[in-house]
Amino acid sequence: MKERISKLFQERFGNTGSFYASPGRINLIGEHTDYNGGFVFPGAIDKCIMAEININGTDRVRVYSADMDSYVEFGLEEKDAPQEQWARYIFGVCREIIKRGGVVKGFDTVFAGEVPLGAGLSSSAALESCFAFALNDLFNENKIEKFELALIGQSTEHNYCGVNCGIMDQFASVFGKESCLMRLDCRSLEYAYYPFHAADHGYKLVLLNSKVKHELVDSPYNKRRESCERVAKQLGVETLRDADMAMLDAARDSISDEDYKRARYVIGEKQRVLDVCEALEKNDFATVGERMYQTHEGLSKDYEVSCEELDFLNDVARECGVTGSRIMGGGFGGCTINLVRDDKYDAFIATAKQKFNDKYGHEPEVIPVVISEGAHKL
């Protein structure tokens, strides 16, 4: 990718610049917990957005997207927002740095990526984090704190891309470390690194992208949030983070069956993240995998955000002796994330491809991932 970018940069701008990269991310466990003040457990992956950037001495930004084969120029005032969606991510990052009192001046850039778009690996956060990190280095002597870089990416999504996302994706892209997952507390924003030496212990992580997305009539996401908020109110706590199963069961009669199931999932998921952290400190991958299956079960039966195709992939994983498997992301489609022993890997991939194809008429996309470092200069 670096050579491809370098060649395109030379052809277009006739000189060279500095290289920066920032990765996509997975979330091993901790789903639908962010808006409940709970924990998420992401890690950066070995698939990045990479950019070559050179300060051009003007007040214009000149950007070539190698993957889109598209060139855009824009100024740095609010009124200069480009039309192209992909360019708005970069414009947004520039504007959010400037709004916070940072410096951004004109630059030339060519960028490309290997994070699959819209597969749930957060290519958009990788793009924002790559430019936030680079512009901090090029114009701000790296004075902007790392957490602020993540917030700059998040505000870009909110203010320039119409996506009302949380902080996990940008956080993971900026803070990622090789062979480490990160437990982020979505209430306090405290975080801690946990070792994830999967390869050393004979395990691989692989995503299977079902490539289906079920659009539902009334926004299920908002309905899940409302259920959680209702139960929290009923229990007299701010978010379900502060509730436990004993409290939920004590209030059982005043909560609808549906809300009860939703809350049961969220409260269980909080504990499952903590269990996984503890298990990883002992390299106990069997427990990690067990919790992943339990999360899938909870998302499917209690939270009801799975779909036929994802349940099918989860069943195939079980049949193939995969250590852990679950839906990754909001649900209703997208990927499963699978923790697989090396000796089961090839058979699992072959079986999943064939069985899924037989049933749904297309193969799932296979995306192996390795936990790798976050935003960096090359």
Choosing from 113, 153, 324, 331, the residue that interacts with ligand ADP (CB under 6 A) is: 113
Choosing from 11, 55, 117, 192, the residue that interacts with ligand ADP (CB under 6 A) is: 117
Decide if residue 124 touches Mg ion (CB under 5 A). Answer: yes
Distance of closest approach, residue 113 Cβ to Mg ion, in angstroms: 12
Distance of closest approach, residue 117 Cβ to ligand ADP, in angstroms: 5
Between the CA atoms of 148, 183, 304 and 312, what dihedral angle is there, to the nearest 10 degrees?
Answer: 110
Closest by Cα among 330, 374, 30 to 164:
330
Instruction: Pick the piece of the chain touching Mg ion (CB under 5 A) from 18-26, 120-128, 258-266, 311-319.
Output: 120-128
Decide if residue 124 touches ligand ADP (CB under 6 A). Answer: yes
Alpha-carbon span 93 to 104, nearest angstrom: 10
Choosing from 85, 219, 256, 357, the residue that interacts with ligand ADP (CB under 6 A) is: 85
Please count the other Cβ atoms lying within 10 Å of the Cβ belonging to residue 215. Answer: 7
The residue annotated as part of the active site, out of 108, 169, 259, 302, is 169
Choosing from 36, 65, 154, 170, the residue that interacts with ligand ADP (CB under 6 A) is: 65
Picked from Mg ion, ligand ADP, none, the partner binding residue 117 (CB below 5 to 8 A depending on kind) is ligand ADP
Choosing from 56, 60, 67, 244, the residue that interacts with ligand ADP (CB under 6 A) is: 67
| CB nearer ligand ADP, residue 70 or residue 357 | 70
| CB nearer Mg ion, residue 170 or residue 294 | 170
| CB nearer ligand ADP, residue 22 or residue 239 | 22
Sheet holding 39-40, edge to edge: 39-40, 180-185, 191-195
Instruction: Pick the piece of the chain touching Mg ion (CB under 5 A) from 117-125, 142-150, 171-179, 315-323.
Output: 117-125
Distance of closest approach, residue 318 Cβ to ligand ADP, in angstroms: 27
Angle at 283 between CA 280 and CA 286, to 5 degrees: 90
| CB nearer ligand ADP, residue 89 or residue 312 | 89
Active site annotation includes 169: yes
Instruction: Using CB positions, name the residue nearest to Mg ion.
Output: 124
Choosing from 127, 130, 206, 313, the residue that interacts with ligand ADP (CB under 6 A) is: 127
Decide if residue 170 touches ligand ADP (CB under 6 A). Answer: no
Q: Which residues bind ligand ADP (CB under 6 A)?
A: 49, 65, 67-68, 85-86, 89, 112-113, 117-118, 120-124, 127
Q: Which residues bind Mg ion (CB under 5 A)?
A: 122, 124
Instruction: Give catalytic residue positions.
Output: 169
